[in-house]
Every structure is written in structure tokens, then in C-alpha cells.
Amino acid sequence: MTEHTAQDPAASSAAITFPEGFLWGASTASFQIEGSTTADGRTASIWDTLCGKPGAVANGDTGDPAADHYRRVSEDVALMADLGLATYRFSVAWPRVRPDGGPVNQRGLDFYQGLVDELLERDIVPWITLYHWDLPQALEERGGWTNRDTAYRFAEYADTVLTALGDRVPFWTTLNEPFCAAFLGYASGEHAPGRTEPDAAVAAAHHLLVAHGLGTALIRARRPDVKLGITLNPAPIVPADPADPVDVAAAQRVDLVRNRVFLDPLFRGEYPEDAHTQFDQFGFSELVRDGDLKLISQPIDLLGVNFYHDEVVSGHGGTEPPSAGGRPTPLVGAAPFSNPQRDLPRTAMGWPVDPRGLTDLLLRLHREYPGVPLYITENGAAYPDTVGEDGQIHDEDRTRYLDGHLRAAHAAIEQGVDLRGYCCWSLLDNFEWAWGYDQRFGVVHVDYKTQERTVKDSGKFFARVIEANGIPGSSD
Ligand code: FCB
């Protein structure tokens, strides 16, 4: 749990400089940008299937055409170079390289070979995420992440990608946000595969961690030279009244699901005690086999942190709050709790904006899980952008969001946090999961009719930050 102690970084306009060698980049994910969902042997992922379910995704949007990145790689890599990115974090689509979770599909691998070639030609460091949620549908039909076998299929798939790209890609993350994959996928059903079974969610969380462990062991054994880790989306969970034991207990229950059920096994080699008390009604303890925790807690080189917003939790206010769209809460076993409204600006997603949360989160990770270098692997905001008469996107709100969060990250470094890089979310506007194309997170605008790309003002701001390795003062 966290309490806000940080100063409001958004209040400042002083120049700041990041440590030398700080790694600047932008992130994307395969299903969100690639399109071409049936090209070159790719078969369905759980997201293709969810998109086909009436009402599951806004406007009935699908993964096609997305940002048509599959066919526009060269143009997009040129854009990255123009922005000055030092790294590009992207995910590989499992159903392209092992369609249906079966044998290797060389044509799918060729796409990523080409992407990596183009990045290296432009001196952009490729950073691979192996799993950003597009599980082959055929594996879901065998139970998906509720089936322990999926973790072994993941290791096979990781082996395939490593064999193809291990000599040229220095950064590898096994999973992106297992919290969302497990709890939004299997408990609230907002994400694919759209299941609403708390016991399935708990099993998925453990098996995702086993997959991380198997992938880590394999990558380590075969390529000890690469930097290897996992990306989580830990969130500061703040009790509404830190002096009220009911609020504190509710915040602890939420914190377990959002944070500790992943962080503790990864960095302490054990599940926290309350994982057993809170999850045992859903069959948790029987899932954990001898040796699993050793596998999961193998040392890693970095923790990727995706940060969007914090969460204030009260134990009062009665019932379990439904998540968006009247779905069950993803926060398995955490009821009763509520999220009191706060007087804060909000993004188009309805997410509160309070950059202090990022400083507090980084400080907490540093304090409670010390010794692992941190990278912000995603941070950004959706706003309802409009293209001005001048053809440009003057997205002051997003620029302000980035400015405040960069200052918040910098404040954490000044307090001793070993933060080594920052990737914004996202390079391009893209398919925002259940929100379809309604929510735009890019620092580059995509016109979905023409696929024309236009760097937004926030993208120009980010390019200046990269060039200066910090935020120049207002008079610089
Ligand atoms: C994160 C996801 C990313 C994107 C952002 C807005 O949870 O990792 O794919 O959807 O949220």
C-alpha cells in the first residue's frame, strides 16, 4: 500500500536532466497496431475471437486494420528515428510465429526479422515483449491460462523467438501486465478471453508467473548476455483514510490483487500470506507446485513498470463496485470496497491524473523490492484529440500529462530510485482493447481512413525531451 507523500511535480516548470545513458523509447503491442490479422499464416488469437462477440468491443471494432503497421514497418521505423527514439518496445504475436500454438511459421518470424533489421539500421535498440495478450485461440480452447500446459507452450514459443532474434535483440520481457491478462481476462471479462470466473483468474495468474519462470530459465540458459525481465502494472493503492482500519484493510485486499500477488513471488520467492487467505476459496493453494516459486523468483535484470494512475480505496460504501460496463470486479476476493471520487483532472478513459502516484510507486518498489533496476515501459494518456485547421494535433493535455509524469519519475531518481529508462505509451494511436479505436494514446496521430501519420505536439515535446535528456527550462 502507498500513501501520497510526494510533492506535486506538475507544479514545476524548472529544467530537469536525467542521468547519462537514460534510455528513451516508445512502446506498442502487436495486436494493437499490426492489422493484417490473417496475413502470412497468422491464425486467430483470443482477441480476434473477443472482437467477434457482440458488445465486447466498442463499435464492434476489430484488430483490422489497426494502424496497419504490418504493412508500414519502414514508414513507422523512419518515424521513430525522426522522434529520436533510442529504443522501441514492441511485442511479438504468438499466433504469427506459432499459429494455433503449433509448429513454427517462418513467414510470421520474417516480419519481426525485417522489423529488427530496420531498427538496427537506424540505431534503435529493439526491445521485445513476448506476450502482450494475444494468446492463440486454439490454446484458449484447451483452457488458456487456466491450463498449466499453456506455460509450457509459452516456453516453446519463447524458444522460437529467441532462436530467431536472440543475437540481435538486447532487451527481452516475458510478459506484459499479467494482472490484466489474468484478472481482466478471466474475472471481469473485459479483456479476452472474456471469462468471468474468479477461480479461473487466480489459476491464470499463477500459470502466467510459471510461464515467466520457464521463459526466464530458457532465455538465461541460451542467451546469458541479454537483459531480461517482466513488465507489471503495479498501482499505488491508497487508503481513503490511512487512519481508518476499515479503509486500510480494504486497500490491502486490493493491493494484493494489483501488486503483491505478482511482486512477492517474483522478488521474494513466496506468495504473501493473504494470497492464501484471500484466494483459497478459489482454489489457489492447490495450484502451486513444488519448485514453482524457485522458478518464478529467478533473478532478473529489470522490472518494467507500466503506470497510468493510482487508486484510492475505501472499505466503506458497501458493495463490490462493478467494473466498467456492469461487469464483475477484476479484484478477486477484495470486496467490499469502493473508490471514492476525487477532485482531479481525468483523461478520456476516466482515469484520474495525479503524477505524484508515480513517484510514490517507484519509491515503494525501490524500498520493498530493492535491487532490481526499473524501467518505465509504459506511461501516457488518452484524450479526445482533434486535428486542427492547420492539420496539426495540439494536444496540450497529453503534453502536460507527459511533462508531469516525467518530473515525477525524475523526483524518484533524485530520491535514490534506480530508474534507467522511460518508454511512452504509445508511439501510435491504436486499438485500445475493449475501447476499440475510440481512445487515442499515441504521440503520433493515425488517421484510420488514410493511415496517415502526424506527429502530435506531445510527440514533438517528447522528441525535445529525448534530445535534451530531460525537460528544458521554459527559457531554454
Ligand atoms: C496498458 C496496456 C497497453 C495499453 C495501455 C493503455 O494496460 O499494456 O496495451 O492498452 O494500458
For ligand 1, atom 5, name the residue with the nearest CA: 425
Q: Is 441 in the pocket of ligand 1 (CB under 6 A)?
A: yes
Pocket test for ligand 1, best of 129, 347, 433, 443 (most atoms within 8 A of CB): 433
Of 32, 262, 377, 425, the one to substitute when testing ligand 1's pocket (max ligand atoms within 8 A of C-beta) is 425
The residues near 273 (Cβ < 8 Å, ≥ 6 apart) are: none
220-104-209-172 Cα dihedral, nearest 10 degrees: 50
Q: What would the grid cell of residue 407 be?
A: 518530473
**Tens digit of each residue's pLDDT, the chain (476 residues):** 666 666 677 678 899 999 999 999 999 999 999 999 999 999 999 999 999 999 999 999 999 999 999 999 999 999 999 999 999 999 999 999 999 999 999 999 999 999 999 999 999 999 999 999 999 999 999 999 999 999 999 999 999 999 999 999 999 999 999 999 999 999 999 999 999 999 999 999 999 999 999 999 999 999 999 999 999 999 999 999 999 999 999 999 999 999 999 999 999 999 999 999 999 999 999 999 999 999 999 999 999 999 999 999 999 985 555 665 678 999 999 999 999 989 999 999 999 999 999 999 999 999 999 999 999 999 999 999 999 999 999 999 999 999 999 999 999 999 999 999 999 999 999 999 999 999 999 999 999 999 999 999 999 999 999 999 999 986 54
Instruction: Please give the Cα distance from 246 to 297 (Å, whole number).
Output: 32
pLDDT at 325: 65
Residue 65 alpha carbon to ligand 1 centre in Å = 18
**pLDDT for residue 326:** 78
Tell the residue number behind the cell numbers 501519420, with chain if given: 453
Q: Which residues contact 427 (CB under 8 A, 6 or more apart)?
A: 26, 27, 28, 33, 76, 79, 80, 88, 442, 443, 444
Cα dihedral sign for 453, 458, 461, 462?
Answer: negative
3-state helix vs strand vs coil in the chain, percent to 5? 45, 15, 40
pTM of the model: 0.97
pLDDT given for residue 475 in this prediction: 54
Give me ligand 1 centre to Cα 23, in Å: 20
pLDDT, tens digit, for every residue of 30-58? 999 999 999 999 999 999 999 999 999 99
CB neighbourhood size of 348 (10 A): 18
User: 177 CB less than 6 Å from ligand 1?
Assistant: yes
Helical H segments across 223-317, by residue range: 245-255, 261-268, 273-279, 292-296
DSSP strand pairing (470-471 vs 16-17) = antiparallel
- Check if 427 has its Cβ closer than 6 Å to any atom of ligand 1: no
**CA 195 to ligand 1 center in whole angstroms:** 19
432 lines ligand 1 (CB under 6 A): yes
* Ligand 1 atom closest to 349 (CA): 6
* Residues facing residue 116 across a β-bridge: none
Distance (angstroms) between ligand 1 centre and the Cα of 434 equals 11
137's grid cell: 485461440
Active site residues: 177, 378
303 in ligand 1 pocket by Cβ < 6 Å? no
Nearest C-alpha to atom 9 of ligand 1 is from which residue? 29
> Cα(304) to centroid of ligand 1, in Å?
13
Quick one: cell of 335?
A: 470486496
Which pLDDT value is given to residue 411? 98
- Residue 223 has a pLDDT of 98
Those residues whose C-beta lies under 8 Å from the C-beta of residue 417, and which sit 6 or more positions away, are: 362, 363, 365, 366, 374
Grid cell at residue 223: 542467451
Q: How high is the pLDDT of residue 2?
A: 65
